[in-house]
Amino acid sequence: MDELVLHPLAAFLKTTLIAHGLFRSLSDYFLIQMYENILRELHVDLSRGTRLVGDADQRADQLRREIDRRGLFCKPIVWPVLKDGLTC
């Protein structure tokens, strides 16, 4: 899989909007894209043997709650348990 390159504006929106709970104003499409970006990041990191940096699982959880609230569908993220007992 190729390395993901997140546009600087998308990276800003991802961290800022979710951190402040303002994603209710986002379109369904953008919300799903943000969630799927976390899923793609996870797959890339797993293929490299690295771990996602930051609070990706918390961001994904917040996005998932909003996706469910809207009645949308997306593939759930299954977080692997690492050797140290932590999730990726």
- Whole-number pLDDT of residue 81: 73
Q: Which domain holds residue 50?
A: 8-70
1, part of any domain: no
Is the residue at 85 inside a domain?
Answer: no
- Assess if residue 42 is contained within a domain: yes
Residue 82 domain-assigned (yes or no): no
Domain count, the chain: 1
What span, in angstroms and rounded, lies between the C-alpha atoms of 3 and 16? 23
Report if residue 84 sits inside a domain: no
The pLDDT score that the predictor gives to residue 11 is 67
Which tokens in the block code for residue 9? 């504006």
pLDDT digit string (tens) for 27-45? Answer: 999 999 999 999 988 888 8
- Residue 15 inside a domain? The answer is yes
